[in-house]
Structure formats: structure tokens, C-alpha cells
Amino acid sequence: MALRLGDIAPDFTAETSEGTINFHEWIGEGWAVLFSHPSDYTPVCTTELGAVARIKDEFDRRNVKVAALSVDPIDSHHGWIQDINETQNTTVNFPIIADPDRQVSDLYDMIHPNASDTFTVRSVFIIGPDKKVKLIFTYPASTGRNFAEILRVIDSLQLTAHHSVATPANWENGQECVILPSVKAEELEAKFPKGHRVIKPYLKMTPQPNLN
């Protein structure tokens, strides 16, 4: 059965390019991004892993660990990492999970038979400190992922986890937020000391509450 938002992310133990990990222990008390690749030595994936390595400090700043996955074995991963470092002018600084028996791919429903019987699709899972799945993206093999969008979503998820707001269309960190309709009128002043504006009774906006 496919994973859905709010499900506990399946735990697993696997070999990676940085040693053996137990996934839930590896996540710890923070957040995690798990993203899969059809196979090693593929051109789009090579650019993606290089892109993540170059912005890993942005994930670190948000207390987010990143792990990639490919169905190829560890020896292949190590050779591929050398190519990524060379061609993308970076150093891969996060683990790549080896999944030759498709254990993790099956747990996370990463193989879509109508796309390929053997290769994983480009899946992205964002997982919270409670080990629950907060977001699922699925890209076709032909389309590289937008990691700026993944960071934007993480900002939204971390904000809305602690404040009674949602983020509107095309929201960027620092912009106004939507006040949840569940917030009562008598609670507005206390919950949103920066103020708010009413567009419609069901549509109220406030400055981003977690910024000084």
C-alpha cells in the first residue's frame, strides 16, 4: 500500500556511502529528506546530487538531514560519487543509500511499474521529527527536481507546525501568512501580536509569526 501524508515513515537499516544507518535513529530529533534515483551514473541524477551537495548548509540550517537512494550497490555508489564531485565541482556530503534488493524502494513505493519495472522514480519524502511523512513529491525520470522548492516547502512545514497559520500560493520565507480559520476572533490579538488584516471573514492575513 502506498505511503500517505501523516503515515509513519517506514524504518529500515541499510548500507550507505557513509556506513550503515538505522533510518529513524539517523533522523534523530530533527527533520529528514529522502530522495530516490533510478540508478547510478544517470545524467539528471548526477546534477541533482551535485546541487544538493552545494546547498547542504541550507538543509543543516533548518535541522534537516538529507539522504539519497539508488538501487545500485555500494561499490557503484563510491565510483559515481567521484564522477559527481568531478563534474559538478562539489563534494558529496550526505549518504547515498544502497538498495540492491529493493527493500527500501518497496517500503516507500518508489517503483512504479507503468514507468519501469525495476528502476525507482524520482521520489521525495520530507519527514518530521515525529517520523511522520509531511510531503511526497514524485517526478518522472526526465525531469530534474527543484531543490529551492523543497527548501521552500520545508520552511512552510516548520513554520506551520508551530503557529496557527498556513502559507498562501507562491509564499516565500518572510512573506505574509494565512491565519487558520479555526482561530477564534477573540484569540487573534494574543496569537498574532504583529497584527492582522481581514480580507474576508474566512481569509485573514498576518506577518510571518516566527520572524523578529
Q: Summarize pLDDT for 145-204 with one digit per residue, the tens.
A: 999 999 999 999 999 999 999 999 999 999 999 999 999 999 999 999 999 999 999 999
Set 27, 34, 45, 165: catalytic member: 45
Nearest-angstrom CA–CA distance, 80 and 100: 15
Q: Which residue has the higher pLDDT, 106 or 90?
A: 90
Residues 48 and 82 in one domain: yes
Total number of domains constituting the chain: 2
Stated length of the chain: 212
Contacts of 46 (CB under 8 A, 6+ apart): 80, 83, 84, 87, 88
Q: Determine the straight-line distance between the first and last CA of the chain, rounded to whole angstroms.
A: 43
Specify if 134 maps to a domain.
yes
In a domain, 158, yes or no: no
Q: Check whether residue 190 and residue 106 sit in a common domain.
A: no
Domain residues for the domain of 176 are 163-206
Q: Are residues 90 and 41 in the same domain?
A: yes
**Cβ–Cβ contacts within 10 Å for residue 196, how many?**
17
Percent residues over pLDDT 70 in the chain: 95
Domain match, 45 and 101 both? yes
| Partner residues linked to 54 by β-bridges | none
Grid cell at residue 38: 533510478
Q: Active site includes 177?
A: no
Judge whether 6 lies within some domain: no
Dihedral pair phi/psi, residue 28, rounded to 5°? 65, -135
Residue 137's domain is classified under what CATH number? 3.40.30.10
